[in-house]
Amino acid sequence: NAGVTQTPKFRVLKTGQSMTLLCAQDMNHEYMYWYRQDPGMGLRLIHYSVGEGTTAKGEVPDGYNVSRLKKQNFLLGLESAAPSQTSVYFCASSRQITGELFFGEGSRLTVL
Amino acid sequence: DAKTTQPPSMDCAEGRAANLPCNHSTISGNEYVYWYRQIHSQGPQYIIHGLKNNETNEMASLIITEDRKSSTLILPHATLRDTAVYYCIVRGLNAGNMLTFGGGTRLMVKP
């Protein structure tokens, strides 16, 4: 089992460029999440999904879009990257709403 | 979700018990207490969670006070590999009550 896999692990963008981060989980989990972590800070929830075809906004959703077309995948998109979006992005999944979250290893994004 | 307060940093000697406190005085009846840790810049790792009763697993023990306004995570025999940031989180059962990570406690285990 790979658990939660994030692609890519590192990316450098120029302001205004777009990109998509892919999160894949092989545990058949219903719930998936995208967090961002800025240097020296805790994690902040961007968007989450409670099942295939559903998404919802978290604490800091502006500037991001998400899609959950397949149960195992949760995509995070940046349509027009800004330097303020320079951060480490973590994807997570869980089986139940009260269950433990399994995190990926993170994707480090730098926007110049 | 209730807010939590943790000390920003703590030290512990290797082999000794590490006791990490968390205050959650505004916790409501259906909210659980979760603990996660983040080693260096890796993804956070689940440790333990509980509602009212004390809990123990292979990693740690969770002691929740009777009024549920505070809790303590206990690592019984801390090792150097336990050096990490530990997050105490309170959350309810609704789909909108997602885990919110605050600043956490940076635990440094020293030889």
Beta-strand (E) ranges in chain B? 9-13, 18-23, 32-38, 45-50, 55-56, 61-64, 70-75, 84-91, 105-110
- Structure confidence at residue B91 (pLDDT): 84
Is the pLDDT at B2 greater than 70? The verdict is: no
Mean pLDDT of chain B: 91
Q: What is the pLDDT of residue B22?
A: 96
Tens-place pLDDT, residues A1-57: 679 999 999 999 999 999 999 999 999 999 999 999 998 888 899 999 999 999 999
Which of A45, A88, A101 shows the shortest C-beta gap to B41? A88
3-state secondary structure A30-92: CEEEEEEECCCCCEEEEEEECCCCCCEECCCCCCCEEECCCCCEEEEEECCCCHHHCEEEEEE
With an 8 Å Cβ cutoff, are A104 and B102 in contact? no
Residue A106 has its nearest CB partner, among B41, B49, B94, at: B41
Alpha-carbon span A17 to A26, nearest angstrom: 30
Which residue of chain A comes nearest to B91, CA vs CA? A98
Spatial contact of A60 and A79, defined as CB atoms under 8 Å apart: no
Percent of chain B with pLDDT over 90: 76
- pLDDT tens digits for B35-71? 999 998 899 999 999 999 899 999 999 999 999 999 9
Q: What local confidence, expressed as pLDDT, does residue B55 receive?
A: 96
pLDDT band for position B95 (50/70/90)?
Answer: low
Closest Cβ–Cβ partner in A44, A48, A105 for B43: A105
Q: Which of B84, B42, B40 is closest to B59 using CA atoms?
A: B84
Q: What is the pLDDT of residue B1?
A: 60
Average model confidence (pLDDT) across chain A: 94
Distances from the Cα of B41 to the Cα of A35, A78, A106, B2, B22, angstroms:
14, 22, 8, 26, 22
Say whether pLDDT at B80 is over 90.
yes
Contact B100 A45 (CB under 8 A): yes
- The least confident of A14-18, A101-105, B30-34, B65-69 is B30-34
CB-CB under 8 Å, B101 with A43 = yes
Closest approach of B16 to chain A, Cα-based (Å)? 27
Indicate the SS3 state at residue A4.
Answer: strand
- Could A33 and B98 be called an inter-chain contact, meaning their C-beta atoms sit closer than 8 Å? yes
User: Quick one: pLDDT at residue A98?
Assistant: 74
Q: What is the pLDDT of residue B97?
A: 60
Query: Nearest CA to A61 among A80, A47, A82?
Result: A47
Sign of CA dihedral B10, B85, B68, B24: positive
The answer to whether residue A1 neighbours chain B at the CB level (below 8 Å) is no
* 3-class secondary-structure state, position B80: helix
The Cα A99–Cα A91 span in angstroms is 15
